[in-house]
């Protein structure tokens, strides 16, 4: 648990909802520091954490069942505001004297709630009798609310869509205010944290930067730190933050796998060695990686091969740095949450192709993880605060194994070169059209498919390239980006003309529905 003594804290109790992280992001967007902790681990840390308010998340369980997860009773005795969301509202009702039943009509998707009474929780959302669009996702039904609660809003399927006990400052909502599908959900959450809990919203990237620098100096002292620099946003921001704290005590090791974007290795070296003057060891291991990957087609084998080689190269170079006691990593808060999540599920399997594995225990280095409290958008904001170029920190996400997962089937230096050039052209056209910042992620995939075509007066038999672009606010759900056809046409035409080996370009219109948790 990080030490944040100067900021009010909100505790989010996780009952396993797939969108619990969004609650934290919405709360933090209003300048309030919060953390997510599993329901079955909260009791042990409640006193030390000392929250100023508590939010109970949604979850897949049924509150009427005997073995269903519950919030520690101590939460309701803290005397701080409590907000239950979906399952959180149901377990609150069940634990405080209300009733929840199963077997009723399910309510999933968009719904309209009608405001029944005034409450600070719904301030600014409308007057009594007004309707508000929300996103429902529940199969059980509250049939009685606890003593002291009153109905604040209803929906066609939920007579207790919003409930409130103003005296004890306890509230429940049957819908999900944290998702984008509830248009003014962020306002509701802000009402809870600022109006009801009275929190100041003083958690900013400027304050985080100052506190992190002090914390790193205290942790590291006069010892040396090695940072595994991948060239991505996370490790780069971590490196610049740590360098601000301890200067020459930091050495970055940049392993060039040969699977990066076009010219990315040169850009990383120039920025960190020349612009920031950070000690940097640049290892060009592209020949090693591409040689070992020759003939490998299974995606999991690719990832494990890249991970093994990365560890070998990093270990060899780290051993040359005398006196190193710490290893810096760009671990983010979602990684921390998933490692202690209250729910099971496929996330570890789904995420495996994005990562290259951790470093072995035998390296005996203590960890410095200055970003482990932050979400991705917060890391970007910190990068701007630290002076990193906005164009760099705003880059689209890039997977740990690099282009290896964007070349289905066997990998070769020739295929990598084709994909690098095509991807660079695609992104160049997106930038020229002023669309880059409107897209959450855009990239090319070199498909293991060849097609016959005619170019000029000659028949060709070359590869098919797929282009993908999606929009998202959080990376947890995404939708296809609707390109202006002229932009897509220019990109496709340039790729076919300028990249030898590609004679057909297709656009992937796959969306990413709610419930999935990762994207390449």
Query: Residue ranges of the alpha helices (H) in 163-298?
Result: 185-190, 205-220, 233-246, 264-269, 286-293
Per the residue annotation, which of 35, 37, 64, 86 is the catalytic one? 86
Q: Give the range among 102-111, 188-197, 239-248 with minimum mean pLDDT.
A: 102-111
pLDDT at residue 345 is higher than 50:
no
Give catalytic status of residue 252 as yes or no: no
Contact 395, 379 (CB under 8 A): no
Per the residue annotation, which of 7, 176, 243, 353 is the catalytic one? 176
Look up the pTM and report it: 0.81
Spatial distance between the Cα atoms of 3 and 112, rounded to a whole number of angstroms: 41
Residues 270-281 have a mean pLDDT of 90
Residues 41-68 have a mean pLDDT of 91
> What is the share, in percent, of the chain residues with pLDDT greater than 70?
89
Give catalytic status of residue 227 as yes or no: no
Spatial distance between the Cα atoms of 165 and 332, rounded to a whole number of angstroms: 36
Contact 169, 155 (CB under 8 A): no
Residues 499-518 have a mean pLDDT of 69
Show the tokens assigned to 382. Answer: 């910190």
The pLDDT value recorded for residue 518 is 38
The pLDDT value recorded for residue 197 is 97
Per the residue annotation, which of 35, 89, 132, 178 is the catalytic one? 178
Count of beta carbons in the 10 Å neighbourhood of residue 425: 22
The pLDDT value recorded for residue 352 is 42
Residues 243-267 have a mean pLDDT of 95
**Bigger pLDDT: 340 vs 202:** 202
Q: Give the range among 41-45, 90-94, 163-167, 319-323 with minimum mean pLDDT.
A: 319-323
Return mean pLDDT, the chain: 88
Closest by CA to 96, choosing from 43, 171, 158, is 171
Give catalytic status of residue 218 as yes or no: no
Residues 403-418 have a mean pLDDT of 94
Cite the beta strand spans of 373-486 per DSSP E: 441-455, 458-471, 479-480
Contact 76, 170 (CB under 8 A): yes
Pairing assessment for the beta strands 458-471 and 479-480 based on DSSP bridges:
antiparallel
pLDDT digits (tens, 9 = 90+) for 16-49: 888 888 899 899 999 999 999 999 999 999 999 9
Q: Give the range among 3-17, 86-100, 141-155 with minimum mean pLDDT.
A: 3-17
pLDDT digits (tens, 9 = 90+) for 98-155: 999 876 667 778 899 999 999 999 999 999 999 999 999 877 889 999 999 999 999 9
φ, ψ (nearest 5 deg) of residue 172: -140, 140
Kindly give, in sequence order, each residue whose CB lies less than 8 Å from that of residue 131, ignoring residues fewer than 6 positions away. 112, 113, 114, 115
Kindly give, in sequence order, each residue whose CB lies less than 8 Å from that of residue 173, ignoring residues fewer than 6 positions away. 83, 84, 85, 86, 89, 121, 134, 161, 162, 188
């Amino acid at each position: 648990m990080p030490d944040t003594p100067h900021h009010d804290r909100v505790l989010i109790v996780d009952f396993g909802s797939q969108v619990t992280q969004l609650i934290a992001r919405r709360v933090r967007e209003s300048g309030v520091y919060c953390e997510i902790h599993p329901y079955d681990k909260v009791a042990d840390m409640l006193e030390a954490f000392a929250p100023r308010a508590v939010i109970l998340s949604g979850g897949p369980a049924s509150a009427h069942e005997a073995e269903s997860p519950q919030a520690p009773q101590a939460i309701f005795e803290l005397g701080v505001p409590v907000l239950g969301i979906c399952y959180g509202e149901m377990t609150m009702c069940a634990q405080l004297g209300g009733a929840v039943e199963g077997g009723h009509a399910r309510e999933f998707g968009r719904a309209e709630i009608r405001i029944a009474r005034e409450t600070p929780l719904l301030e600014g959302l409308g007057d009594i009798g007004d309707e508000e669009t929300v996103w429902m996702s529940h199969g059980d039904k509250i049939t009685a609310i606890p003593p002291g609660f009153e109905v604040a809003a209803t929906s066609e399927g939920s007579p207790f869509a919003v409930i409130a006990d103003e005296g004890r400052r306890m509230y429940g909502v049957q819908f999900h205010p944290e998702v984008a599908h509830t248009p003014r959900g962020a306002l509701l959450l802000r009402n809870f944290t600022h109006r009801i809990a009275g929190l100041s919203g003083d958690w900013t990237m400027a304050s985080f930067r100052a506190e992190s620098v002090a914390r790193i100096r205290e942790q590291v002292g006069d010892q040396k730190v090695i940072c595994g620099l991948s060239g991505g946003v996370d490790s780069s921001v971590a490196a610049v933050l740590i360098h601000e704290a301890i200067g020459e005590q930091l050495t970055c090791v940049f392993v060039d796998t040969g699977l990066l974007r076009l010219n990315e290795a040169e850009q990383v070296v120039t920025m960190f060695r020349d612009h920031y003057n950070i000690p940097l060891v640049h290892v060009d291991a592209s020949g090693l990686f591409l040689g070992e990957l020759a003939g490998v087609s299974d995606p999991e084998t690719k990832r494990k091969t890249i991970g093994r080689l990365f560890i070998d190269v990093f270990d060899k170079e780290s051993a040359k740095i005398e006196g190193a006691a710490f290893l810096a990593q760009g671990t983010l808060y979602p990684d921390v949450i998933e490692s202690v999540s209250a729910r099971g599920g496929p996330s570890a399997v789904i995420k495996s192709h994005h990562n290259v594995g951790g470093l072995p225990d035998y390296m005996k280095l203590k960890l410095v993880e200055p970003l482990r409290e932050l979400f991705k958008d917060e890391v970007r904001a910190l990068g701007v605060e630290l002076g990193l170029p906005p164009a760099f920190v705003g880059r689209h996400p890039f997977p740990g194994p690099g282009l290896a997962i964007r070349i289905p089937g066997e990998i070769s230096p020739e295929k990598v070169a084709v994909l690098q050039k095509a991807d660079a052209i695609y992104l160049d056209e997106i930038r020229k059209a002023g669309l880059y910042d409107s897209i959450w992620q855009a990239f090319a995939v070199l498909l293991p498919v060849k097609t016959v075509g005619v170019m000029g007066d000659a028949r060709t038999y070359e590869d098919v390239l797929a282009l993908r672009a999606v929009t998202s606010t959080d990376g947890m759900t995404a939708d296809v980006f609707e390109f202006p056809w002229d932009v897509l046409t220019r990109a496709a035409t340039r790729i076919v003309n300028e990249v030898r080996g590609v004679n057909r370009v297709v656009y992937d219109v796959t969306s990413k529905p709610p419930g999935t948790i990762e994207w390449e």
